[in-house]
Structure 1
Amino acid sequence: MRLVLLGPPGSGKGTQGARISARHGIPAISTGQLFDRQIAAGTDLGRRAERYVRAGELVPDEIVLDMVAERLDGSVDCAVGFLLDGFPRTYPQAEALDRMLAASCGPLDAVIDLDVDIDEVLDRIRRRAHTEDRVDDGDDTARRRLKVFAEETAPLRRYYRRSGLLRTVDGAGTPDEVAARIERVLADTAHPELHLPG
């Protein structure tokens, strides 16, 4: 199963990504983790990415795509599928990912979009900031991050909606409730013939 997981900061994406990974035996691949590993290992890709990360700038698509391609192509654990978390973030990245997958392991099966009300997201971020002492997660900062995320991903959602891959899942409720909704969507995706009329 080849999946992309979308969701704003505070949507529970990390929690649900870990659950999907464990339940389906596929690696959850985060671009943030890819950056950290490549930079720590001092690879050529890591050195190219590091200057942007250190400056607080977005890493260019070309470098991100090269990292994702290397992770997907060079790993035995990706042979049965994968879950991409945090990538793609933009329409051009999605197009480039589709081209890359078409030339290698095959197209995506679904894009899971966690839909959470902004007030619920802000409440979660407030609780996280309190429990984890995260100074970067104040209300103003969180609202800015959510605004940027919404602007960035609107074209991405349209792209995946047009391709028939987008599956919007209600992200409100307990982690167990959300996980159950995701599993129902994935079951429908894996066995659409079970839901055909007649």
Structure 2
Amino acid sequence: MGPPGAGKGTQAKILIEKFGIPQISTGDILRAAIKGGTSLGLEAKKFIDAGELVPDSVVIGIVEERIREADCEKGFLLDGFPRTTPQAEALDAMLQKMGRKIDHAVNLAVPDEEVIQRLLDRAVKEGRSDDTEPVIRNRIKNYNDQTKPLIDFYRNKGLLKEVNGLGELSAITERILGALNV
């Protein structure tokens, strides 16, 4: 977890390689399910084509299908999911039904002003004209309103690993590994 621009995707790629587990990105899963023509993929496509958010029930179903695949037997890293407390509760219920559970929830803590600067820098480097400061501030607001409550959700379950997301890439990775006791 962490705000947009905290480095979640970058760190996820390092961790999946280290642990030999798949990264489960809901965006990637949705695209694959739609491309594969699965029933949930076709349902998700209806919402996406209408410009609407895919309902939690569909996203949970697609995540469940992915977690049931053989490469997830040793574990998996969720990226971009859950984003809200209801999604986290639904994820817990789904995993419990499968006889599984979340082991750790890592939060990369990065101050808002640092996030803004990182995303503005990334926009320039990658030529992303849609990442303007007002858009970035709105993304941070949405994160603070919808996703930040997950910090308390996982803290209350004793699963939260709070990690300082500032500094060199390798130092952040080491802090994550230390928080996971590996």
The interval holding the TM-score normalised by the smaller chain is over 0.9
CA distance, structure 2, for counterparts of residue 182 and residue 154 of structure 1: 19
Aligned twin of 1:8: 3
2:115 is aligned with 1:130: no
Give the counterpart letter for 1:57 in structure 2.
Answer: E
**TM-score normalised according to structure 1 size:** 0.88
Q: TM-score, normalised by structure 2?
A: 0.96
* 1:145 aligned onto 2:130: no
Amino acid at match of 2:88: A
Corresponding residue to 1:55 among 23, 34, 50? 50
Q: Give me the whole-angstrom Cα distance separating, in 1, the residues matched to 2:12 and 2:172.
A: 11
* Distance (whole Å) between structure 1 residues aligned to residue 40 and residue 163 of structure 2: 34
Q: Secondary structure at the match of 2:106?
A: strand
1:88-103 equivalent positions in 2, closer than 5 A: 88-103=82-97
Structure 1 residue 83: deviation in Å?
0.4
| Alpha-carbon distance, 1:105 to partner | 4.1
Q: In structure 1, what is the Cα distance between the partners aligned to 2:139 and 2:91?
A: 24
Instruction: Return the match for 1:106 from 100, 111, 121.
Output: 100
Equivalent AA in structure 2 for residue 31 of structure 1: T
Count of aligned positions = 182
Equivalent position SS for 1:59: coil
2:6 is aligned with what amino acid? S
CA distance in 1, matches of 2:46, 2:134: 27
2:170 to 151, 176, 180: 176
Q: Write the letter of the residue equivalent to 2:98.
A: S
Q: Deviations over 1:108-157 (max 9, x none)?
A: 11100010011111111011101111112110000000100111023322
Q: Give the match's secondary structure for 1:8.
A: coil
In structure 2, what is the Cα distance between the partners aligned to 1:102 and 1:45?
21
Q: Which runs of 4+ in 1 moved over 4 A?
A: none
What's the offset of the Cα at 1:170? 0.5
1:65 corresponds in structure 2 to 60
1:17 to 12, 15, 19: 12
Superposed CA RMSD: 1.2
The runs of 5 or more residues in structure 1 that have no matched partner are 1-5, 191-198
- Indicate the residue corresponding to 1:157 in structure 2: 151
Cα distance in 2 for partners of 1:185, 1:112 equals 8
What residue ranges of structure 2 are gaps of 5+ in the alignment?
none
Q: In structure 2, which of residues 23, 36, 44 is the aligned counterpart of residue 28 of structure 1? A: 23
